[in-house]
Amino acid sequence: MAGTPGTLRLLFTIQLITMTAMEMSGPFWPLRLKEISASDLAFSVAATGTYIAPMLGIALTGSLWGRVGDRYGHKPMMLRALAGLALTQLGLALAGDPWTIVGLRFMQGACAGFSAPAQAYGVGLVTAERRGRLFAFLQVSTNVGSLGGAVLGGVILDHASFFWINAAASALCVACGLCVAALLPATRPTPKHPAGAAAPAASVWRNPVILGLLLAHGGLLASRLLPQMPFSLYVRGTFGVENWVIGLCYGLMATGFVASAALWARLFEGRTRQATLGGIALVAIACAGVALVAGTTPSIVVFAASYGAWGALLGATTPVLTGLISREAAAHRQGHILGIVQSTTQASSMAGVALGGLVSQAAGSAAIFPAVAALYLVSCGLLLRVRQAQDSRSPATLSPSP
């Protein structure tokens, strides 16, 4: 199907509004849980579970929903995800028990997962060479939505109760669902053996290139999320700055990503797999260097600039790798492979956050950034290993699978 710019812009807008809705409550769950928890231990466990539960739900079900989308179409899967988000957000608005909230958050991840079907739907709107740019734009919408959602949620909480954050998010998801149903054209599932196909592609798990790309993708994500848990403690303890400065430094990474992702996608567009992976490996080395600068500088200005530069470099990593992974998979398995990518993303995110917590507990928050640099170098090694890999279809090019 040939997609129109209007359809792509609408998909981008729906993704942005959906992510805004989901992130409105993100920074404020500890405040709500503190109010309703019976003890400090219950609060600590519930607060951790509230953030991990949706990641776990998505990790466990992403591949399943992707396969269903390949069979029945990805537009129904977007509608299913938005319905799940709307219902669980409404349940969260009414929930008054921390364990109910954790359970609903898990259901939210397991029943929803909007990004993967949106990506799979978008793949049908663009040529294979432009998939990297598509994924870059969709991840830009995710980052912009995350920033805007946190601000909007704070404004609501300043003027109303926590109930209205989730109620408003539910209403936004309903509105997005109506837009998907009424405005986005339906697409037909891709046949397993299209006319003119030379041979069926190897399954996802028998393709060593895809497996290597998934490992590298996970390593890069885990590297980025290592500082997540001790970030505020490190910045406050090292530089003694106010909370708004901490928030500014944290947001500069997303700002850098938003500014650079589309430019990186254009730079890598049309390049061979080997050339692309070599470029991303160099970016991983640069990320390691920037992380070391951030972890050793005594200047908050240099630290903030490092975080902005780090975000700008990240625009060349996950969107471009997602495009490579998509192009290695067969056309009729796009939902499946992108569901696996989403599951890998969530599992790697949980691993990165947990590893960062362990490192900070064992060696102090000052050890976080050297650990980030080391993990980036490991990811660079994985990328170079995949760069040398040969598969049965296209050893040196990025020709789309049949």
Using the predicted structure, report yes or no on whether residue 325 has a pLDDT greater than 60: yes
Copy the structure tokens of residue 15.
């993704």
Q: What is the mean predicted confidence (pLDDT) over 169-193? A: 85
Whole-angstrom distance, CA of residue 89 vs CA of residue 234 = 33
Whole-angstrom distance, CA of residue 380 vs CA of residue 370 = 15
Mean pLDDT of the chain: 84
Using the predicted structure, report yes or no on whether residue 289 has a pLDDT greater than 60: yes
For residue 306, the Cα-to-chain-centroid distance in whole angstroms is 21
Q: Residue 255 in 3-state DSSP?
A: helix
Angle, CA 378 vertex, CA 374 and CA 380 arms, to 5°: 115
Predicted confidence at residue 203, as pLDDT, reads 56
Predicted confidence at residue 204, as pLDDT, reads 59
Q: Higher pLDDT residue, 17 or 330? A: 17
Alpha helices in 160-207 (DSSP H): 162-183
Predicted confidence at residue 399, as pLDDT, reads 40
Domain ranges of the chain: 5-183, 204-388
Q: Which of 65-69, 231-235, 329-333 has the highest mean pLDDT?
A: 65-69
**pLDDT band for position 318 (cuts 50, 70, 90):** confident
Angle, CA 284 vertex, CA 278 and CA 289 arms, to 5°: 130
**pLDDT band for position 78 (cuts 50, 70, 90):** very high
Predicted confidence at residue 392, as pLDDT, reads 38
Using the predicted structure, report yes or no on whether residue 388 has a pLDDT greater than 80: yes
Using the predicted structure, report yes or no on whether residue 174 has a pLDDT greater than 90: yes
**pLDDT band for position 189 (cuts 50, 70, 90):** low
Predicted confidence at residue 1, as pLDDT, reads 37
Q: What is the mean predicted confidence (pLDDT) over 258-269? A: 87
Using the predicted structure, report yes or no on whether residue 2 has a pLDDT greater than 50: no
Predicted confidence at residue 192, as pLDDT, reads 58
Q: Are 247 and 374 within 8 A, CB to CB?
A: no
254 closest CA partner among 368, 143, 344: 143
Least trusted range by pLDDT, from 38-42, 80-84, 381-385: 38-42
Predicted confidence at residue 76, as pLDDT, reads 92
**pLDDT band for position 343 (cuts 50, 70, 90):** confident
Please tell us whether the domain made up of 204-388 is placed in CATH 3.20.20.20: no
Predicted confidence at residue 137, as pLDDT, reads 83
Using the predicted structure, report yes or no on whether residue 298 has a pLDDT greater than 50: yes
Whole-angstrom distance, CA of residue 15 vs CA of residue 256 = 19
pTM of the model: 0.73
Question: Are the folds of 5-183 and 204-388 the same?
Answer: yes
Using the predicted structure, report yes or no on whether residue 332 has a pLDDT greater than 80: no
Whole-angstrom distance, CA of residue 223 vs CA of residue 291 = 10
- pLDDT tens profile 224-255: 988 887 787 788 889 988 877 887 887 788 88
Predicted confidence at residue 308, as pLDDT, reads 92
Q: Cα torsion for 395, 220, 115, 265, to the nearest 10°?
A: -60
Alpha-carbon distance values, 114 to 80, 120, 321 (Å): 9, 10, 19
- pLDDT tens profile 85-136: 999 999 999 998 999 999 999 999 888 778 888 888 888 888 777 777 888 8
Whole-angstrom distance, CA of residue 277 vs CA of residue 372 = 20
Return left, alpha or beta for 227; rule: phi > 0 is left, psi -120 to 50 is alpha, else beta.
alpha
Using the predicted structure, report yes or no on whether residue 159 has a pLDDT greater than 60: yes
% the chain with pLDDT above 70:
91
Q: Which CATH class name applies to 5-183?
A: mainly alpha
Predicted confidence at residue 191, as pLDDT, reads 60
